[in-house]
Amino acid sequence: MSRRVIFFDHAGTPGGGQLSAARLLPLLQEVEPIALYLTGGSVAEQMRESGIRTTVLEPTGDFSTAALFRYARTAAQYLRTVDPSVPVVAMSTAAAQVLALVPRGRRPRLLRLSEDMQRYQQRGIKSLAYFRLIFPRFDGFLSNSEWTSSTIPASLRTIPVRLAYPLSGVQRTAQRSTPVLEEPTVRIACFSRAARWKGLDLAIDAVGRLTSGDRPVQLTIFGGEAQSEPDYAAELRQTAQRSGAEVVFAGHVDDVLTAMQDVDIVIMPSRLPEPFGQVTVQSLAAGCLTVVSAHGGSLEIVEDQRTGLTFPPDDASGLHRVLAAALNDSRTASSVAEAGCSSASRFTDAALARDFESAMLALLS
């Protein structure tokens, strides 16, 4: 009989972490996963339909931090019905806040780390709660990148950490019908919501400087309105008009990998470090020339000049130079894209699910 593990999240509504978990849990082979949500949503239903034992503690209503103590009582009541040797993995910081309020007992607890922990040191009195009352109540951390691990403060370094990249959404690497940069028009794309830290204006600026050549260049920005910043989205359209570049705002796309088949270059111009970079892996797997800001987890995925290209963060001029060099030497750019596609095989969902499970069991042992 496989070992049972509870995967606890604050909400069953669609989000990056929730959707990744919905793909992850059915792939686990050595443990019997139990999905536990505070509040419901379509992802919780999707988990149940996939055959995972799923419980929603409060099926009606949305998650609210104002109800943390009520959630803690409800979670404690549920956990009392489960063998105390069954471990629980908090899949979000919000879930960790609730779990920290539940009496400790003997149940092993792990926390999924998915973002820069230094951010929590900049929240005034809340920082004391995070670093003295919440994070220390876990027996181990599952970090979504080496970079995320590096942000753990010294006060928490006694807690063991294991690397466990999140799922990428990639099942296999793609076979392109033609190499990148062979079409008359250079097709460049960003796949991101309109948030300033994502740096989409840098991409528009850099591509605008490329349009003075004889070869037409088109930049397409894929991204829906969810979690976007309306003022920044409006600013991007104004920036595009001033730049003189051909910029298409394509909105949300369901099948990112298929959309990437019609793209030569994918840019991830994030101003702040990406903890992991799902789009980066997808771009590599699709055989695109992948260009990323040189910081964060992206540097664990892309090796400059070998599997992709990097440029200094928040530097539109640096990005322009990288793009111009790629267009001037399309043969080398195509070779880099092919090497990047081969490297993406280590980031398929099946491989990452095995790694996640191994890391989790190592902490629990």
Query: DSSP string of 229-255?
Result: -HHHHHHHHHHHHHH--EEEEEE--S-
Alpha-carbon distance of 77 to 220, in angstroms, equals 50
pTM above 0.85, yes or no: yes
The full set of domains in the chain, from first to last, is 3-167+349-364 (3.40.50.2000), 186-347 (3.40.50.2000)
Distance CA 363, CA 110 (A): 8
Per residue in 164-183, pLDDT tens? Answer: 999 998 999 888 888 999 99
Paired tokens of 135: 């994070």
Question: 212 pLDDT exceeds 80?
Answer: no
Query: What's the pLDDT at 128?
Result: 83
List of residues 6+ apart from 54 with CB closer than 8 A: 34, 35, 36, 37, 44, 47, 48
Does the pLDDT of residue 213 top 70, yes or no? Answer: no
Mean pLDDT, range 14-40, rounded to an integer: 93
The letter for the amino acid at 220 is T
For 91, phi then psi, to 5°, come to: -90, 0
pLDDT 10s digits, 123-142 = 677 788 889 999 999 999 99
Tokens of 62: 């949305």
pLDDT in tens, 317-333: 999 999 999 999 999 99
